Amino acid sequence: MARIAIPIGEDFEDSEFQEPYDRLLKAGHSVVVIGLEPGATVRGKKGTATATIEQTAADLDPADFDALVIPGGYSPDHLRTDEDVVDFVRRFFESGKPVAAICHGPQLLIEADVVEGRELTSWPSIRTDLQNAGATWIDEEVVEDDNLITSRSPEDLDPFCEAILDRLPLKIGKPHRETIG
């Protein structure tokens, strides 16, 4: 069983938080929602999902987690101004463990200064920001570069979640997904 951190703030993309969160829990993993104020409830920009912040990044050590998943929406833009969140993302990325970001999520990776020389994808409006930060932007549903997993949009959630789950240890005796065939 893996322990996954999900940094989130107001106006996150509802499905980009909820679907990975639910699938990770269903696979038997532990998920910790991190943000700016413990106990605060943050809302998705479409109003279909809410999340309660469990801990702040300042109170956590990346060594205590196996993966980091960054949802998109406006949340990354809100979080990128918090030095503790940015520092947590940077230190986590440097650990070499899986870091997954979807849609606008790579904004946090840009702020953490970890995209130079990497191949990524994102929502199209983040493309120039990534290129200016030294990344190579690729228009594919999932782009994997070493420990980095990125996707473009909610339409890519299924392969995005599969890529994350493929990088995590399986719960003993149970596969993380159904096998077809």
pLDDT, tens only, 78-114: 999 999 999 999 999 999 999 999 999 999 999 999 9
Do residues 77 and 107 make contact, with C-beta atoms less than 8 angstroms apart? yes
Q: Which residues contact 46 (CB under 8 A, 6 or more apart)?
A: 13, 14
At residue 93's C-alpha, the angle toward residues 89 and 96, to 5°, is 155
| CATH C-level class of 3-167 | alpha beta
Q: Among all residues, which ones are annotated catalytic?
A: 103
Query: pTM here?
Result: 0.92
Q: How confident is the model at residue 171 (pLDDT cuts 50, 70, 90)?
A: low
CB–CB of 128/122 below 8 Å? no
* Structure confidence at residue 158 as a pLDDT band (50, 70, 90): very high
CA 156 – CA 106 distance, rounded (Å): 15
pLDDT at 74 over 50: yes
Look at residue 179 in the predicted model and tell me its pLDDT: 35
